[in-house]
Every structure is written in structure tokens, then in C-alpha cells.
């Protein structure tokens, strides 16, 4: 029994509008058949123009606060993982605080590709265990469609918009909560998944915009090869740090980037599909929001029980990868 960060609340937000594979057939040279067989995606949700990363994050946070039965004023820190902040500064975390309450709350944005949510959970858990914080809001929110090039069929079909939020809460003498985490980043693969324009390396210019440098670029094949190794490594290393093995895992919640990447992990660990959450068919890749979205669905379907060992696992730009091992329950 230890002092740990337990998941006191979970909330999600998905925009209403749906873009199906058939809709995409009218925009780029692709087919429903190609997208389904190569990725597992059938449709994705798309934010309205006036919906932003912070507005989606705020909606998800409201649900998470309600679930935790606390008020925004009870929060003492906000970590917002995102790759598509409303603006580079001010932070999306500060925007969410402002949309939730007039009370100032410290907060930061965290950018670690699609692994950002996993990093956020570990950082919040460590702050809580260090003793200075009680309730931390960990958000994963991205409006990836704002940086998706709808003239590039190799990426246009993959992404959707969404947000998710956890309330992590300090609890003493518990065996529930975040048991361990495994975090990794290796910049040698940085160019495989990159938004080249708009930063200090390539400030926005007429040329950079004309050359479509502000859109996400991905080397799909190389990223795929990296992901099929990174996912099982993160699962095994996270569990090892908690003194557990794959056999102890009740539920795996993997990043939803490609069904074939998830299937490779299922085969490698010889997992019963009942122990793996998959919802990529209806949302596509929503970056840092995939894990809260998938976890929430599993909860709604009654697949999460008190005491279950749940492994959250992601990979993405950086390159980055990692996992959180959580014993479910408050
Ligand atoms: N529709 C039709 N054909 C297409 C499409 C499309 N949308 N996209 C590519 N193709 C074609 C290619 O042009 C190529 O044609 P060619 O053989 O004539 O040259 C053929 O399909 C095969 O292309 P590949 O790139 O080899 O396709 P692959 O099977 O690798 O699938 C994909 C591409 C889906 C991008 C896959 O590589 C992948 O999922 N990669 C990993 C993505 C990932 O995990 N990203 C990390 C997370 S990113 C994040 O979360 C933000």
C-alpha cells in the first residue's frame, strides 16, 4: 500500500460531424476498401471551424470533473497534452482553465507526439506522489484535421478530432492508481513524422505555406515498422516496472493508429481480443485523445472492473513511445 494517483474521473468529447471513407473518396484518390483493409478505419469525427483544441478539451474536462465529483476550483494543476494547441502561446492549459473557472490554476502544455497523454499521466502521478498536489487534470486533446493535408491521400484518411481528460487524485495507503510508467523518446526518427513549418526552424512565410509545410508529413512505412516494435516494448517494460507480466494484464488500451499495429501486438502476446480495446473503426487516429476515448468506451461496455490491471500504451512523433500501468478503481 502506497500513496498513489488514482483515476477519480474520466471524460471525453467527440465532435458531431462524421467524415466517412466514402466522403473521402470524393476528396482524394482513395477507396473505402483500401482504407478499411490497410488501417481498419471506417469513419472519423471532424471538428467544426469554431471548435478548437481548447474548446474540445474543456468539454472533456467538464465531464471528467463531474465524474470525479469535484469542481474546477478543486484542481491544483492542469497538464494538457496536445500537438495542435490553439496557439503556440498562450498555452491550451491556460485557455482551458479560463473556460472552466475564473480561479487561476497552474498549467502547462506538453508536446510528445501521440504519446503525450502517457507522459502527462506519469508527470501528474509523480507530482501527486511528491506530495504537493491533490487533484490534477490530465488532458489529451488534438484537432489534427487542422494540420491534415487533404491533398495527400497517404495521411488524409487517417486522422480525426477528439479530446479526453482524466482527474488524477492523491490517495494514501492504496493499491489502486498509477502503478508504473515507461517513457521513451528517440529524436533520430524525428523526420518520420513531422510538421515542418511554423516553428523557429521554418517560420511561416509565403513559400512555406505555398509548399504546404504547415501540414503533418509522415513516412508511413517506416513509422509502421517502428510502431510494431514500440508497442509491445512499452507494454512489457511498463508491466515489468510494476512487477507484473502480460498474464496479469486485464485490459490493454493501445493507441489507435492502425488496426494492423494493434493486431500484431495481440498476436505476439497471444491475447484474447476481449482484453484489447479497439475503436479505430469509428474515430480514426485522434492522437493524444485515442486512449481516453477507448478507455471510456470500455468502461461504458462494462469491461472495466475494480482492481483490474489496465495498460495504456502509445507511440508517435518524436519518435516517442510509452505506457502507464494502472490498477483500476478509486
Ligand atoms: N488510398 C489508396 N491508396 C493509398 C492510400 C490511400 N489513402 N495511401 C497510400 N496508398 C497507396 C500508396 O501510394 C502505395 O501505392 P504504390 O504501391 O502504387 O506506391 C500503396 O498504397 C501502399 O502504400 P504504403 O504506404 O506502403 O501503405 P501501407 O500499407 O504502409 O499503409 C499507412 C500506409 C496506413 C500510413 C501505414 O503505413 C501506417 O499506418 N503507418 C503507421 C502510422 C502510425 O502508426 N503513425 C504513428 C502515430 S501518428 C499519430 O498518432 C499522429
> Is residue 214 annotated as a catalytic residue, yes or no?
no
Do 260 and 303 have their domain in common? Answer: yes
To test ligand 1's pocket by mutation, which of 23, 81, 142, 220 has the most ligand atoms within 8 angstroms of CB? 220
Ligand 1 site residues (CB inside 6 A) read 30, 34-35, 38-39, 114, 153-154, 157, 193, 220-221, 223-224, 227, 257-258, 261, 285, 287, 316
Share of the chain above pLDDT 70, in %: 100
Domain endpoint, select from 159, 174, 189: 174
Judge if 160 and 186 occupy the same domain: no
pTM: 0.96
Q: Let me know whether 225 and 162 are in one domain.
A: no
Does residue 208 sit in the same domain as residue 110?
no
- Percent residues over pLDDT 90 in the chain: 99
Same domain, 166 and 34: yes
Quick one: pLDDT band at residue 44, thresholds 50, 70, 90? very high
Q: Which of the following is catalytic: 21, 45, 255, 279?
A: 255
pLDDT at 155: 97
Tell me the CATH number at 35. Answer: 3.40.47.10
- Same-domain check for residues 104 and 226: no
pLDDT greater than 90 at residue 60: yes
- Has residue 330 got a pLDDT over 90? no
Instruction: Tell me the per-residue pLDDT of 166-199, one tens digit each, with 9 for 90 and over.
Output: 999 999 999 999 999 999 999 999 999 999 999 9
Mean pLDDT computed over every residue of the chain: 97
Q: How far is the CA of 302 from the centre of ligand 1 (A)?
A: 34
Catalytic-residue membership of 255: yes
| Rounded Cα distance, 80 and 311, in Å | 20
Model pLDDT for residues 193-231, shown as the tens digit of each residue: 999 999 999 999 999 999 999 999 999 999 999 999 999
For 64-78, what is each residue's pLDDT tens digit? 999 999 999 999 999
Domain boundary among 134, 151, 174: 174
Is residue 132 over pLDDT 90? Answer: no
81 & 32 share domain: yes
Same domain, 189 and 273: yes
Same domain, residue pair 196 and 297: yes
83 catalytic residue (yes or no): no
**Is residue 164 left, alpha or beta, with left meaning phi > 0 and alpha meaning psi from -120 to 50?**
beta
Which of the four pLDDT bands, split at 50, 70 and 90, describes residue 131?
Answer: confident
pLDDT digits (tens, 9 = 90+) for 250-268: 999 999 999 999 999 999 9
Show which of 142, 174, 206 is a domain's final residue: 174
Q: Output the CA torsion 302→305→308→310 (10° steps).
A: 40
Does 318 lie in the same domain as 239?
yes
pLDDT confidence bin for 1, thresholds 50/70/90: confident
Which domain does 295 fall in, by range? 179-327
Task: For residues 95 and 202, state if they share a domain.
Answer: no
Total domains in the chain come to: 2
Round to whole Å and give the CA distance between 35 and 28. 12
Closest atom of ligand 1 relative to the 220 alpha carbon: 37
Q: Same structural domain for residues 135 and 278?
A: no
DSSP E strand stretches across 37-89: 43-45, 77-81
pLDDT value at position 139? Answer: 98
Pairing verdict, β 217-218 and 251-254:
unpaired
Amino acid at each position: 500500500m502506497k500513496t498513489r494517483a488514482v483515476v477519480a474521473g474520466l471524460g471525453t468529447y467527440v465532435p458531431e460531424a462524421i467524415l466517412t471513407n466514402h466522403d473521402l473518396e470524393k476528396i482524394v484518390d482513395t477507396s473505402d476498401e483500401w482504407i478499411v483493409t490497410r488501417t481498419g478505419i471506417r469513419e472519423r469525427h471532424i471538428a467544426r471551424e469554431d471548435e478548437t483544441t481548447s474548446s474540445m478539451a474543456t468539454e472533456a474536462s467538464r465531464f471528467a470533473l463531474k465524474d470525479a465529483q469535484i469542481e474546477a476550483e478543486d484542481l491544483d494543476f492542469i497538464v494538457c497534452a496536445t500537438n495542435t494547441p490553439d496557439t503556440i502561446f498562450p498555452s491550451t492549459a491556460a485557455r482551458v482553465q479560463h473556460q472552466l473557472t475564473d480561479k487561476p490554476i497552474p498549467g502547462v502544455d506538453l508536446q510528445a507526439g501521440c504519446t503525450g497523454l502517457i507522459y502527462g499521466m506519469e508527470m501528474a502521478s509523480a507530482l501527486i506522489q511528491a506530495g504537493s498536489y491533490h487533484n490534477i487534470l490530465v488532458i489529451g486533446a488534438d484537432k489534427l484535421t487542422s494540420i491534415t493535408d487533404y491533398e495527400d491521400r497517404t495521411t488524409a484518411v487517417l486522422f480525426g478530432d477528439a479530446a479526453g481528460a482524466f482527474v488524477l487524485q492523491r490517495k494514501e495507503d492504496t493499491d489502486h492508481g498509477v502503478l508504473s510508467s515507461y517513457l521513451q523518446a528517440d529524436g533520430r526518427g524525428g523526420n518520420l513524422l513531422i510538421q515542418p513549418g511554423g516553428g523557429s526552424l521554418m517560420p511561416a512565410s509565403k513559400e512555406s505555406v505555398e509548399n504546404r509545410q504547415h501540414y503533418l508529413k509522415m513516412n508511413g512505412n517506416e513509422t509502421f515498422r517502428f510502431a510494431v516494435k514500440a508497442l509491445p516494448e512499452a507494454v512489457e517494460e511498463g508491466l515489468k516496472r510494476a512487477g507484473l507480466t502480460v498474464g496479469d494484464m486485464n485490459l490493454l488500451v493501445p493507441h489507435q493508429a492502425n488496426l494492423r499495429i494493434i493486431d500484431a501486438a495481440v498476436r505476439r502476446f497471444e491475447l484474447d481480443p476481449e482484453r484489447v480495446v479497439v475503436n479505430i473503426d469509428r474515430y480514426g487516429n485522434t492522437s493524444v485523445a485515442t486512449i481516453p476515448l477507448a478507455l471510456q468506451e470500455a468502461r461504458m461496455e462494462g469491461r472495466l472492473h475494480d482492481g483490474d490491471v489496465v495498460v495504456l500504451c502509445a507511440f508517435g512523433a518524436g519518435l516517442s513511445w510509452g505506457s502507464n500501468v494502472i490498477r483500476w478503481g478509486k
